[in-house]
Amino acid sequence: MKFFLKNSYLLDLIASVMFFTRIPVNWNYFSNKPPNLTKAAWSFPIIGFLVGILSGIFGDLCMFIDLPIFLSCLIAITFSIVLTGAFHEDGLADMADGFGAGGTAVKINKIMHDSRLGTYGTAALTLGLLIRLGLVVSLVELGNSLILILSVGFASGKLAIIFLRNLYKTSKFSKTGSIIENVSILKLIFATISWFFPIYFFFPLVGILLGVLFIFVVIFLIGNMSKQKLGGLTGDVLGATAFISELAFLFALTIYLRIQF
């Protein structure tokens, strides 16, 4: 236990695993202090890679035993949702319900925190999952493994959370513990490097840069909508941004790789 208390980087990783996944973690075993997600933000992309690796293994094994690509991709995505507890998917549905319904900031916030799923949320979640499945299938058909595709997608979404949070203020409706504070420049750089280098070894630089452009378009659009409708960011908005940024990056890679193909 003393080793974990002294190793702050390992504690950050464990805190991120506990926050973003359903992997059982007994935090009291590792530290007697509350987890600090803002301090742990540098590890967010690494957790994305972890979720992608664990989910992709299932899909690649399915293809290894000659199951259809479509079914293998669906199984891998299903496992990722179980592993994360549909964390970002829930944020997407809630944001779509609130922003879609419109009205005052108080009304939008009330709708976003309603446990019932509305028409906008259902449509956004259904289309989002279908688009994710379509992109993953397309990239597999281009010769990429599910481990690689899902890792890149989830890590990109996690990185987008940090940039969005640093570029926009929080809403007065954001709940304590549901949103990180501003991340230091050093940790932001470290998170970006930990995201970039694994991807750089597997995908063309132009495709990566196109994906980054797409992600910043998503960040700009969602950040400004949140500012207009809620006065800032909430946890649901960050979750939705992670989901949509994942799709944006994979979409950019698909476009570039198909042109090259």
What is the pLDDT confidence band of residue 48, given thresholds at 50, 70 and 90?
very high
What is the pLDDT confidence band of residue 16, given thresholds at 50, 70 and 90?
very high
Pairwise CA distance, residues 172 & 174, whole Å: 6
pTM recorded for the entire structure: 0.93
Tell me what the pLDDT averaged over the chain comes to.
92
Residue 51 is predicted with a pLDDT of: 96
**With contact defined as beta carbons under 8 Å apart, do 76 and 86 qualify?**
no
Looking at residue 94, its amino acid is: D
- Altogether, the residues listed in the chain come to a count of 261
The values of phi and psi at residue 111, to 5°, are -65, -40
What single string gives the DSSP state of each residue in 165-177? HHHSPBPTTPPTT
Residue 209 is predicted with a pLDDT of: 97
Between vectors from CA 41 to CA 35 and to CA 43, what angle results, nearest 5°? Answer: 100
Torsion angle, CA of 151/24/124/96, rounded to 10 degrees? -120
The residue among 8, 79, 12, 23 whose CA lies nearest residue 45 is 12
- Bridge partners, 170 (sequence order): 233
3 contacts: CB under 8 Å, gap ≥ 6? none
**With contact defined as beta carbons under 8 Å apart, do 145 and 60 qualify?**
yes
| Residue spans of alpha helices (H) in 168-204 | 185-200
What is the pLDDT confidence band of residue 176, given thresholds at 50, 70 and 90?
low
